[in-house]
Amino acid sequence: MITRFAPSPTGPLHLGHAYSAMLAHDLARATGGTFLLRIEDIDQSRARPRWEAQIYDDLLWLGLDWPEPVLRQSERIPVYEAALAKLDALGLTYRCACSRRDIAEAATAPQEGAPLMGPDGIVYPGTCKAAGLRDSSLPVRLHMDRALDLAGAFSFHESGHGFHTEIRPRPEDMLTGIGDVVLARREMGTSYHLSVTVDDAAQGVTHVVRGRDLAEATPIHVLLQTVLGLPVPVYHHHRLIRDAEGKRLAKRDDARAIALYRDQGARPEDIRRMVGLTPAQ
């Protein structure tokens, strides 16, 4: 089993991250497998060396270890561009000139009713789909309809609900509830969906262990794996660690940063107990 923890260095790690990383680590260790660390820093406007350094520091303190060198996504842009070129050659991409505001306005036009929200926000209303724009500085979107046609039937194993189940995303749900997602953002050459898909395959990840908040995006990743001819890992979407009021922890909740618990004298086993994990083996 090869698992991974793939944080974005845009803020301190909090208890939810610690849970995700330790669970991925424990699952790999229990089977004699490997736990990998990947730094998801494609958004250079938000990634900071300081947060990356803190990630290594916190994870080592928690008792985790991983093989070096750590894969950093910012160093792999040409690999993502190659995957994008492959999708383009399959006729699955188009350029989009819409701003967030254009999308919000088109999606809330009186005849459209309330905008549909997908994993990336408002489901793209398709304004540029048939425009044939060629400006290579523009973001790239996926022709969801064509990708679904090309993929045919596809599915993935989910092991995160306490039992194994085979999930078969329904094309009609993906068309209406997800739509033409962005594959390459402006000035980035890639997107979360594309780089996570390419890298899980490149690193031979067999089990993607991550929070349930990302479960909605998984059909996109499995669809991309299918059309790119990449292996489909097992997905283990784990429960989310919530604060005392039942709200999801976010990176801005610095009060729950691992570093702060450390400063207050907590030990790694205290963190394990707080997130409901058994002591390290």
Based on CB atoms, which residue is closest to ligand GLU, 195 or 226?
195
Give the integer Cα–Cα distance in Å for 158 and 156. 6
- One-letter identity of residue 261: Y
> Hey, what amino acid is at 183?
L
Q: Which stretch binds ligand GLU (CB under 6 A): 5-13, 86-94, 107-115, 173-181?
A: 5-13
Q: How far is the CB of 14 from ligand GLU (least distance, A)?
A: 11
126 binding ligand GLU? (CB under 6 A)? no
| Residue 210 binding ligand GLU, by CB under 6 A | yes
User: Minimum CB separation from ligand GLU for residue 112, in Å?
Assistant: 30
- With respect to ligand GLU, which residue has the nearer C-beta, 54 or 128? 54
Q: Stretches 3-11, 82-90, 147-155, 254-262: which one binds ligand GLU (CB under 6 A)?
A: 3-11
Of residues 180 through 209, those in contact with ligand GLU by CB under 6 A are: 196
Nearer to ligand GLU, 210 or 272 (CB): 210
- Taking residues 98 to 117 in sequence order and writing x for each that binds ligand GLU by CB under 6 A, - otherwise, the string is --------------------
Query: Per-residue DSSP letters for the chain?
Result: -EEEE---SSS--BHHHHHHHHHHHHHHHHTT-EEEEEE----TTT--HHHHHHHHHHHHHTT---PSSPEEGGG-HHHHHHHHHHHHHTT-EEE----HHHHHHHHTSGGG-SPPEETTEEPP--TTTTT----TTS-EEE-HHHHHHHH-S--EEE-TTSS-EEE---HHHHHHHT-S-EEE-TTTS--HHHHHHHHHHHTT-SEEEEEGGGGGGHHHHHHHHHHHT----EEEEEPPPB-TTSPBP-TT-GGGBHHHHHHTT--HHHHHHHTT-PPP-
Cβ 159 vs Cβ 236: under 8 Å = yes
Instruction: Report the residue number, 93 or 195, with the smaller CB distance to ligand GLU.
Output: 195
Q: Which of residues 21-40 bind ligand GLU (CB under 6 A)?
A: 40
Near ligand GLU by CB under 6 A: residue from 1, 3, 7, 226: 7
Stretch that binds ligand GLU, among 6-14, 49-57, 108-116, 224-232 (CB under 6 A): 6-14
- Applying CB under 6 A, which of residues 77, 122, 214, 266 lies at the interface with ligand GLU? 214
Residue 25 or 143 having the CB closest to ligand GLU: 25
User: Tokens at residue 198, please?
Assistant: 């390419």
Figure out which of the listed residues 2, 6, 27, 59 binds ligand GLU, where binding follows CB under 6 A: 6
Q: Residue 120 CB, nearest distance to ligand GLU (Å)?
A: 13
Residue 8 near ligand GLU by CB under 6 A: yes
**For residues 6 and 27, which CB has a smaller minimum distance to ligand GLU in the complex?**
6
Euclidean distance between CA atoms 222 and 151, whole angstroms:
10
Handedness of CA 235, 206, 16, 116 (dihedral sign): negative
> Which residues would be at the binding site for ligand GLU (CB under 6 A)?
6-8, 40, 196, 210, 214
